[in-house]
């Protein structure tokens, strides 16, 4: 099964995709993680990507598409995938339509106030990338990763002003892509999250139930 998990920044795409990965036996391709790895390298590409990300802007299509093609080529033919963070523009969606068949859209709907609350309190391990939340998923030791003991940090784009910019970019440039897939008769599975304390497993259960109704699991 080839799927796209779709939702505004901070809607929980990475959290739900990682849980669905083991349940469905698919690969997860998270373009955000890929770009963060690129930004760690002091290359010309890394510095260019960092400039866009820190301003809450989308990385240009030609860069994103090149990175995606490289990653898709590494997935065994017998395995499916979940795309997290791609496509974000119509051009990206059209290119994807040419290189891969998408079976289902997993659509997360989350109010902006929840997104701001989640992201502004998010902390990430510098060593292993584990994600914490100082309100809802605290580490055992303040600002220290439970898994590897690495230091936690707040991403430069996880502040209210940039978050609002990111959600605005999402609404203006990305949501029209839903219509693109609707016109191609790709089925949608919708999962709503209207409270801050909704357990991730409850959302995953809803997604799996709806995939079952479509006879995809």
> Domain with 174 in it: what CATH number?
3.40.50.300
65: Cβ contacts below 8 Å, ≥ 6 apart: 92, 95
C-beta of residue 85 within 8 angstroms of C-beta of residue 30: yes
C-beta of residue 92 within 8 angstroms of C-beta of residue 86: yes
Q: Is 155 a catalytic residue?
A: yes
Report yes or no on 61 lying in a domain: yes
**Active-site residue among 19, 50, 118, 166?**
166
**Active-site residue among 155, 164, 165, 205?**
155
For the chain, what percent of residues have pLDDT higher than 90?
Answer: 49
C-beta of residue 101 within 8 angstroms of C-beta of residue 68: no
Q: Is 13 a catalytic residue?
A: yes
Report yes or no on 162 lying in a domain: no
Co-location of 17 and 61 in the same domain = yes
Domain count of the fold of the chain: 2
**Active-site residue among 50, 88, 118, 123?**
88
Co-location of 15 and 65 in the same domain = yes
Report yes or no on 59 lying in a domain: yes
> Domain with 123 in it: what CATH number?
2.20.28
Give whole-number Cα distances, 215 to 1, 71, 148, 212, in Å. Answer: 11, 28, 39, 5
Q: Is 88 a catalytic residue?
A: yes
20: Cβ contacts below 8 Å, ≥ 6 apart: 5, 26, 28, 82, 106, 204, 207, 208
- Supply the pLDDT for residue 89: 83
Give the tokens for residue 126. Answer: 């510098």
**Active-site residue among 19, 50, 118, 122?**
122
Indicate the SS3 state at residue 151. strand
Among 36-50, 150-164, 179-193, 200-214, the range scoring the smallest mean pLDDT is 36-50
Co-location of 41 and 84 in the same domain = yes
Tell me the residue range of the domain where 127 lies: 112-155
Question: Kind and range of the H or E element at 131?
Answer: strand 131-133
Per-residue pLDDT tens over the stretch 24-80: 999 999 888 888 888 888 888 888 888 888 887 878 888 888 888 888 888 887 889
Co-location of 51 and 64 in the same domain = yes
Co-location of 32 and 52 in the same domain = yes
Report yes or no on 161 lying in a domain: no
């Amino acid at each position: 099964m080839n799927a796209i998990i779709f939702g505004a920044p901070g809607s929980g795409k990475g959290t739900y995709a990682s849980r669905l990965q083991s349940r469905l036996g698919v690969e997860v391709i998270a373009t955000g993680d890929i770009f963060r790895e690129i930004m760690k390298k002091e290359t010309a590409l890394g510095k260019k990507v960092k400039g866009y990300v820190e301003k809450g802007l989308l990385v240009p299509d030609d860069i994103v598409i090149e990175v995606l093609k490289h990653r898709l080529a590494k997935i065994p033919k017998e395995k499916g995938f979940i795309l997290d963070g791609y496509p974000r523009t119509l051009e990206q969606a059209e290119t994807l339509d040419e290189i891969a068949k998408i079976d289902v859209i997993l659509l997360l709907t989350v109010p902006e106030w929840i997104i701001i609350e989640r992201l502004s309190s998010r902390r990430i391990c510098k060593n292993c990338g584990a994600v914490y939340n100082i309100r809802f998923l605290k580490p055992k030791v303040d600002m220290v990763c439970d898994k590897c003991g690495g230091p936690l940090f707040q991403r430069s784009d996880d502040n209210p002003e940039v978050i609002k910019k990111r959600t605005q970019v999402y609404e203006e440039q990305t949501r029209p892509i839903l219509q693109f897939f609707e016109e191609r008769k790709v089925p949608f599975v919708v999962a709503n999250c209207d409270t801050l304390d909704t357990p991730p497993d409850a959302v995953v259960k809803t997604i799996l139930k709806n995939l079952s109704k479509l006879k995809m699991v």
